[in-house]
Amino acid sequence: MSGARVVACGWGWRHAGRRRWAVSDLDLDLQPGERVLLLGASGSGKSTLLRGLAGVLGDAEDGESAGDLTIDGMPPPAVRGRAGLVLQDPDAQVILARVGDDIAFAGENLGVPREEIWWRVDAAIEAVGLPFGRDHSTAQLSGGQKQRLALAGVLAMQPRLLLLDEPTANLDPEGAVSVRDAALRAAADTGATLVVVEHRVSLWAGHVDRVVVLGESGVLADGTVDEVFARHERSLTDAGVWVPGVPPGFARPSRSAAGPVLLRAVDLTVGRRAFGAKTPRVAASGVSRDIVAGRALAVTGANGAGKSTLALTVAGLLAPVEGVLAATDELRGGLGPSPASWRSRELLTRIGTVFQTPEHQLLTSRVRTELEVGPRTLRLDGEQTAARVEPLLERLRLTRLAAVNPFTLSGGEKRRLTVAAALATRPRVLVLDEPTYGQDARTWRELAALIDDVRAEGTAVVFVTHDRDLVEVLADDEIVLTGVAP
Amino acid sequence: MTLEIDLRHSRLARVNPVAKLAAAGILSITLLLSIDPVSAGVTLVATLLLLPFAGLAARQLWLRMWPIALGALVASLATVLYGRPDGEIYVEWGILRISDGSIDLALSIFLRVLAIALPSVVLFATTDPTDLADGLAQILRLPARFVVVALAGLRLVGLLIDDWRELSLARRARGVADAGRLRRFAGQSFALFVLAIRRGTKLATAMEARGFDAAGPRTWARPSRLRWRDAGLVALAAAIAAASVLAAIAAGTWRFILGL
């Protein structure tokens, strides 16, 4: 088996109902077996191109196409199964409840005979290195395992073109490497052509033959890794691409002085109750730490170590399972010591939380009203509210988007909005869960600078992260969680 | 997070879901034909006697049954108070009348709801949705597209339960969780609805990327066949149904619903 040849000739696509073309005037020729890293600013149409090649853009009802896009000389929808696409969100790609059934799904759809399907399933499990049998539940997989499962599901189609759309953006570093290695091994074994879209270039740079950069219209740069980065370092960095060797671009001015202690955790055990369960499942235990005004505390550890649960407990959203989480007099101002017992409104000025998934936090249909929710709840008048909201809009480059529906924002914009919404009530403690998750380099710099500003102004910052760079530039202290034995 | 019961210890898990569907159907339809305490009582007792053989954890079953039991209780209490009066009248206060007839009807309704719900819950809680989909498509020949989409959508239910909890926490963090329970519920339901649509759209793309809805015939990786033990379950259900009807006729309580 060999790889597919991909040819785009003046190709373009416009989604139905949009004025702007997502991709236009694209000319591209990828040779069989080539490994290609596809880059470009957000909105340059990388995902659209991959979806076009996978044949899932839809028909005339879904959008309008121009020019030609072919795989081995055929339009992609005519050769379903020749191209396999892995997407960014691990949760969105699990289709069935058992590992084997999920991988078998593509074979069923393409009419592969039953014996052949199961032979392919076993080969795919082996190829991506999943340590499970066919009957393992897909709900229990980690993010990295889910992405390898998605890859296995695609490999079972025996594709000649492997398309990866930011497959590791939502993963911890180990998970990201495991997915990359599985994909590279599969491409090497089958000779398939490989096209990867990824912001974190350093992960792939040493393993691809060619880099293609998409611009506003067509290809902006095309060549080997060294050529492209040498010539376009600046424009790529500005576009949010993590160019290898270029530092994240934010350095913290100076270490901070400690302010008063705001929260005190003593031998804290945290956990959550599963749906219908009687007792909470412990996620982390033995945490003792002071949370101090003007200092940033990083919470790190592998997937499943209880980082988010700890953050939600510190934020007063979950009650501790055991041990103590107590607010000091400085923070509680007349309330009881346990943040979990405070009213929702009382939390606002004390502890603000930014969730991992912005969509869970959005409440209104406009960016401006989203920021006004907190101040209004605090019963600030119109003038006071505006005095808080306007500077935040300005500072987070959201002014232009003030009347837009938050759900239609890009990932980076949504993240900035939820941080701004938490800041609008000026909490003394700010808790952030994976603030840089899946963000490009540009948003990363902005968020790092913002979080550090907030800390420098005297807020205690607690942030959960996998991102070593972020820990390096922001953290004064670090808790490394190791999880509890199941 | 799943809605299914842990099936490892249940022998019902090995029965073909289509047979379970048939068994639950036979029991339900039979009980829908009459309103009397005897037929429902026989079915309920028979089901309870057979329940220990199903190998289910009592707590898991109770979690799924209590809303129905509560509903049955409310319905029968209302019937006691407002049901059509018949025989001796014990209490009369305005339109509220408790009589032999209303008590009898209330008991019938209570037993009937439980007798229909219990076997259905047991049979479906022990059914793996993937196996049910295989059976529906291969044995009952329902359209593959419809069955597979429903199955994939079902997996989203677990994710939506997680979403709901996350939404609750996020609303508390945003300071809006002190509002009235009803208003909060309405707002949060809408947010969940928006999330569900987004998840659905993403899932559809992932399915298409794996060749779903491609031209040409589809194959099935897992064969779904009916075996003797499947026939056994259906026969058992038919026997319980028959015994219920005969017992009710013998006791003189059988009231054919269309003759009521």
- Mutation target for A interface from B174, B213, B218: give the one with most A CBs within 10 A: B174
A140 and A281 within one domain: no
Domain tally, chain A: 2
pLDDT in tens, chain A (486 residues): 689 999 999 999 998 877 888 898 999 999 999 999 998 877 788 889 999 999 998 888 889 999 999 999 999 989 988 999 999 888 889 999 899 999 999 999 999 999 999 999 999 999 998 888 899 988 888 888 899 999 999 999 999 999 999 898 877 788 889 899 999 999 999 999 999 998 778 889 899 999 999 887 788 889 998 899 888 888 888 777 777 766 666 666 666 667 899 999 999 999 988 776 778 889 899 999 999 999 999 999 887 788 999 999 999 999 999 999 999 999 998 899 999 999 999 999 999 999 988 889 999 989 999 999 999 999 999 999 999 999 999 988 889 889 888 988 877 888 989 999 999 999 999 999 989 877 778 888 888 988 998 999 999 999 999 888 899 989 999 999 987 654
On whether the CB atoms of residues A165 and A438 are closer than 8 A, the answer is: no
B238 and B119 within one domain: yes
Is B135 a member of any domain? no
- How far apart CA A87 and CA A100 sit, in angstroms, is 19
On whether the CB atoms of residues A486 and A311 are closer than 8 A, the answer is: no
A339 touches chain B (CB under 8 A): no
Please judge whether B202 and A92 are an interchain contact, meaning their C-beta atoms are less than 8 angstroms apart. Answer: yes
User: Rounded mean pLDDT of B3-13?
Assistant: 62
B8 touches chain A (CB under 8 A): no
B237 and B205 within one domain: no
B96 and B71 within one domain: yes
Closest partner CB to B221 (pick from A108, A157, A378):
A108
> What's the pLDDT at A1?
62
B174 touches chain A (CB under 8 A): yes
> Quick count: other Cβ atoms within 10 Å of Cβ B35?
20
On whether the CB atoms of residues B81 and B91 are closer than 8 A, the answer is: no
> What's the pLDDT at A143?
82
Helix/strand/coil for A80: coil
B37 touches chain A (CB under 8 A): no
Around A204, how many Cα atoms within 13 Å sit in the side-chain half-sphere? 34
Please judge whether B191 and A343 are an interchain contact, meaning their C-beta atoms are less than 8 angstroms apart. Answer: no
Q: Give the closest residue to A162 by CA, choosing from A184, A146, A130, A129.
A: A184
- Mutation target for B interface from A47, A48, A56: give the one with most B CBs within 10 A: A56
Please judge whether A97 and B155 are an interchain contact, meaning their C-beta atoms are less than 8 angstroms apart. Answer: yes
Residue A471 belongs to domain with CATH number: 3.40.50.300
Task: Please determine, for residue B50, whether its predicted confidence score (pLDDT) is greater than 50.
Answer: yes
Please report where in the chains the tokens 């000319």 appear, as a residue. Answer: A27
- How far apart CA A53 and CA A29 sit, in angstroms, is 13
Question: Residue A335 burial (CB < 10 Å; 0-12/13-18/19+)?
Answer: middle
A117 and A62 within one domain: yes
B129 touches chain A (CB under 8 A): yes
B161 and B83 within one domain: no
On whether the CB atoms of residues A327 and A403 are closer than 8 A, the answer is: no
Helices (H), chain B: 17-32, 37-54, 58-82, 100-125, 129-138, 144-173, 181-209, 228-251
- How far apart CA A30 and CA A228 sit, in angstroms, is 16
Domain tally, chain B: 2
Nearest-neighbour CA in chain B from A351: distance (Å): 8
A131 and A16 within one domain: yes
The fraction of chain B above a pLDDT of 70, given in percent, is: 95
A74 touches chain B (CB under 8 A): no
A119 and A61 within one domain: yes
On whether the CB atoms of residues B88 and B67 are closer than 8 A, the answer is: no
Please judge whether A373 and B214 are an interchain contact, meaning their C-beta atoms are less than 8 angstroms apart. Answer: no
B103 and B72 within one domain: yes
On whether the CB atoms of residues A279 and A320 are closer than 8 A, the answer is: no
Is A252 a member of any domain? no
Sequence-distant (6+) residues with CB within 8 A of A385 are: A372, A375, A376
Sort out which chain B residues have CB atoms less than 8 A from A16's CB and list them.
Answer: none
Please judge whether B152 and A353 are an interchain contact, meaning their C-beta atoms are less than 8 angstroms apart. Answer: no
The pLDDT confidence band at residue B2, using thresholds 50, 70 and 90, is: very low
B212 touches chain A (CB under 8 A): yes
On whether the CB atoms of residues A203 and A168 are closer than 8 A, the answer is: yes
- Please state the separation of Cα A325 from the chain's center in Å: 30
- How far apart CA A463 and CA A323 sit, in angstroms, is 21
Domain that holds residue A393: 261-481
Task: Please determine, for residue B161, whether its predicted confidence score (pLDDT) is greater than 60.
Answer: yes
A269 and A234 within one domain: no
Question: For A162, which residue in chain B has the nearest alpha carbon?
Answer: B209
Please judge whether A112 and B163 are an interchain contact, meaning their C-beta atoms are less than 8 angstroms apart. Answer: no
> Whole-angstrom distance between the N-terminal and C-terminal Cα of chain B?
45
Q: Which two tokens stand for residue B90?
A: 């014990």
- Please state the separation of Cα A211 from the chain's center in Å: 22
B112 and B29 within one domain: yes
> What's the pLDDT at B7?
57
Closest partner CB to B219 (pick from A94, A114, A422):
A114
- How far apart CA A128 and CA A150 sit, in angstroms, is 10
B213-A136-B217 Cα angle (round to 5): 20
Sort out which chain A residues have CB atoms less than 8 A from B223's CB and list them.
Answer: 114
B119 and B59 within one domain: yes
B166 and B234 within one domain: no
Sort out which chain B residues have CB atoms less than 8 A from A352's CB and list them.
Answer: 173
B144 and B123 within one domain: no
- How far apart CA B134 and CA A362 sit, in angstroms, is 39
Is A256 a member of any domain? no
B121 and B79 within one domain: yes
A439-A443-A445 Cα angle (round to 5): 115
Going from the C-alpha of A200 to that of each of A34, A166, A246, B22, the distances in angstroms are 20, 9, 12, 54
Backbone angles phi, psi at A426, to 5 degrees: 50, 60
Neighbour order of strands in the sheet with A281-292 = A281-292, A261-272, A322-327
> What's the pLDDT at A292?
94
Is A45 a member of any domain? yes
Bridge partners of A271? Answer: A282
Whether this model's ipTM surpasses 0.90 comes out as: no
A283 and A231 within one domain: no
A56 touches chain B (CB under 8 A): yes
Question: For B221, which residue in chain A has the nearest alpha carbon?
Answer: A114
Is A251 a member of any domain? no
User: Rounded mean pLDDT of B34-55?
Assistant: 89
> What's the pLDDT at A259?
87
Q: Cα Rg for chain A, rounded, in angstroms?
A: 24
A277 and A139 within one domain: no
On whether the CB atoms of residues A340 and A319 are closer than 8 A, the answer is: yes
A394 and A318 within one domain: yes
A53 touches chain B (CB under 8 A): no
Interface of B with A in 109-128 (CB under 8 A): 128
- How far apart CA B155 and CA B148 sit, in angstroms, is 11
Please judge whether A87 and B209 are an interchain contact, meaning their C-beta atoms are less than 8 angstroms apart. Answer: yes
Please judge whether A108 and B171 are an interchain contact, meaning their C-beta atoms are less than 8 angstroms apart. Answer: no
Q: Cα Rg for chain B, rounded, in angstroms?
A: 23
A232 and A266 within one domain: no
A273 and A228 within one domain: no
Going from the C-alpha of B93 to that of each of B79, B88, B89, the distances in angstroms are 15, 15, 11
Going from the C-alpha of A357 to that of each of A2, A290, B166, the distances in angstroms are 40, 27, 9
Please report where in the chains the tokens 């003759």 appear, as a residue. Answer: B259
Is A82 a member of any domain? yes
On whether the CB atoms of residues A389 and A424 are closer than 8 A, the answer is: yes
Sort out which chain B residues have CB atoms less than 8 A from A150's CB and list them.
Answer: 206
A116 and A52 within one domain: yes
Is A247 a member of any domain? no
> What's the pLDDT at A100?
95
Domain that holds residue B197: 140-209
Is B217 a member of any domain? no
Closest partner CB to B175 (pick from A117, A118, A374):
A374
Question: For A423, which residue in chain B has the nearest alpha carbon?
Answer: B174
- How far apart CA A278 and CA A269 sit, in angstroms, is 17
Q: pLDDT for B165-174, tens place per residue?
A: 999 999 999 9
Q: Which two tokens stand for residue B111?
A: 């037993």
Is B63 a member of any domain? yes
- Mutation target for A interface from B64, B176, B210: give the one with most A CBs within 10 A: B210
Is B133 a member of any domain? no
Q: Mean pLDDT of all residues in chain B?
A: 87
Neighbour order of strands in the sheet with A6-15 = A23-30, A6-15, A63-71
On whether the CB atoms of residues A35 and A210 are closer than 8 A, the answer is: yes
Interface of A with B in 193-252 (CB under 8 A): none
Q: pLDDT for B195-225, tens place per residue?
A: 999 889 889 999 999 989 888 889 999 999 9
Going from the C-alpha of B168 to that of each of B180, B191, B244, the distances in angstroms are 14, 11, 47
Is A248 a member of any domain? no
> What's the pLDDT at B1?
35
Is B194 a member of any domain? yes
A349 and A200 within one domain: no
A117 touches chain B (CB under 8 A): yes
Nearest-neighbour CA in chain A from B109: distance (Å): 28
User: Rounded mean pLDDT of B14-20?
Assistant: 92
A98 touches chain B (CB under 8 A): yes
B254 and B204 within one domain: no
Nearest-neighbour CA in chain B from A74: distance (Å): 15
Is B224 a member of any domain? no
